[in-house]
Amino acid sequence: MTFIAIVDGAITTVALPSIARQFGLTTAALDGVVVIYPVCLAMAIPSSAWLVERCGAKRVLLVALAAFLASSLLCGTAAGLGPLVAYRAVQGLSAGVLFPASSALLLHTFSAAEQVRLSRYMIVPQQIAPAAAPILGGLLVDHLSWRWVFYVNAPVGVPALLFGALFLTGHRGRGAGRFDLTGLLLTASALGTVMFGVCEGPERGWTSAPVTVALAVGTVLTAAAVAFELRTAEPLLKLRLFADRLFRDTNLINFLGLVPIFGALYLTPLFLQERLGRTALESGTSTFPEAFGVLLTVQLAGVLYARVGPRLIVGCGMAGVSAVLLLFAGCDAHTGLWTVRAYMFLLGLAMGGVFMPTMVASVATIDRADLSQASTLNTVVRQTGGAFAPAAVTTALVLGTPAAAAAHPPVGAYQHAYVVLAAIAAVTAVFAFTLPDGAARAAAGGVTRHRSLPVRRREEAVRSSEAAH
């Protein structure tokens, strides 16, 4: 489920030139096809926690996945730009519910110790998806049609939907309270507007009227949403959870850390194709080793998590990211592909120490009744941090490019961008070493790991029966 949603967010860009030719448009005119997805995704996220508590995580997850698959097939049949953008909007809305619902189901079902073990397997689709998307997209467009960029979701998604319907354990939630309509309007508008400004900034320019207006309005809406949600008894987004230091700090690390991590994944293909003159396929195969590095480190982090705690793992991981980005800053026009591949593998090794520990530690001190809300807030932070990565890269490239060569940043501009990303990673690493991880270590090494899932379910059923009588 996670695999196809992540792939779809990245694979569409590869198909844009082919779509433009068929519709008789320029590639720039198809900007809405790409931007509408993250904007609608961000707008849908705030309502996901309420839906999970109202309808149950399993039901919400399966409905969102079914809607995602249906809209994918409709995208493939689109006869023009208007219908394609509309179907992409439905895709984004579905994904905005799908991500938090799947995380909530995982958090409600498994203990912290079990989450650490499971993350060693869950990380596989999360890392393979973005790395495989450009290669898969190129093959489908070249040998079949751009429409297969959307049709390809069905062979993976339909079996996942059937498997989930048959084998996923239902989660009924604790009963949703009054629906916070004002909170939804404020948070959805704020997130959608900010996401639009951040996504369009690199294309239209940060001083263009649409971007500056969107960011200004988004900032005002965000402030209003925060003020309203903090004063509401039953908020759509339970921002009070950020009062918990471990939850707040891990989310701050995620937000800051994703900028250099995703920034490097965005910048390196540009460097390979624009400055080294490599093809899209060569670029894709050169960035792919990052996924293997992540997979290796996550296995080690899963073993060490309860012993050394997330503070040391995350701090060393971010420090490693900073060091590898400095290696990238030394690349020039004569750098070979295998050097880039080696650096990408090292980057993956460092990245693997960040994702899983922060995810598990973020909910270690959160009450079980608030796990759905915590999952939703985690998703908001990750999506926002990921969206800021291209913005940071573009800004660094512009600042490092002479005015006379604005259209074609020189090698020095790319080196400057890598140094900026390395500095952000270094600051994040220093902050990570201050993480209060005692509770996270205790949760991962607690007695719950000695009880199997069926035993805990029977115990919970007994408690629910006793409470009912």
- Whether residue 465 is predicted with pLDDT greater than 80 in this model: the reply is no
262 close to 392: Cβ distance less than 8 angstroms: no
pLDDT band at 132 (very low <50, low <70, confident <90, very high): low
At residue 456, the pLDDT reads 45
At residue 468, the pLDDT reads 42
Q: Is 277 exposed, middle or buried (0-12, 13-18, 19+ CB in 10 A)?
A: exposed
pLDDT band at 41 (very low <50, low <70, confident <90, very high): confident
Q: pLDDT digit string (tens) for 409-459?
A: 788 888 889 999 999 999 999 999 998 877 777 776 654 433 334 434 444
For residues 287 and 261, what is the distance between their CA atoms, to the nearest angstrom? Answer: 13
At residue 129, the pLDDT reads 64
Q: Which CATH architecture has domain 240-469?
A: Up-down Bundle (1.20)
Q: Which of 214, 192, 211 is nearest to 394 (CA)?
A: 211
- Whether residue 462 is predicted with pLDDT greater than 50 in this model: the reply is no
Q: Give the lowest-confidence range in 20-24, 206-210, 279-283.
A: 279-283
Q: What letters, b where the CB count within 10 A reaches 16 and e where it falls short, cover 100-137?
A: bbbbbbbbbbbbbbbbbbbbbebbebbbbbbbbbbbbb
- Whether residue 461 is predicted with pLDDT greater than 50 in this model: the reply is no
Contacting residues for 144 by C-beta, under 8 A, at least 6 apart = none
CA 40 to chain centre: 14
Query: Looking at per-residue confidence, does 59 or 328 come out higher?
Result: 328
- Average pLDDT (191-197) is 83
At residue 1, the pLDDT reads 54
pLDDT band at 14 (very low <50, low <70, confident <90, very high): low
- Average pLDDT (212-237) is 87
Q: Which CATH number fits domain 1-175: 1.10.3720.10, 1.10.10.350, 1.20.1250.20, 3.90.1150.10?
A: 1.20.1250.20
Q: Which of 392, 440, 445 is nearest to 419 (CA)?
A: 392
- Whether residue 466 is predicted with pLDDT greater than 60 in this model: the reply is no
Residue spans of alpha helices (H) in 309-333: 310-329
- Whether residue 397 is predicted with pLDDT greater than 90 in this model: the reply is no
- Whether residue 338 is predicted with pLDDT greater than 50 in this model: the reply is yes
pTM: 0.75
For residues 148 and 154, what is the distance between their CA atoms, to the nearest angstrom? Answer: 10
CA 17 to chain centre: 25
Q: pLDDT digit string (tens) for 205-221?
A: 778 888 889 889 989 99
pLDDT band at 175 (very low <50, low <70, confident <90, very high): low
441 close to 306: Cβ distance less than 8 angstroms: yes
For residues 126 and 134, what is the distance between their CA atoms, to the nearest angstrom? Answer: 15
Average pLDDT, the chain: 78
> Which tokens is 90 given?
């439905």
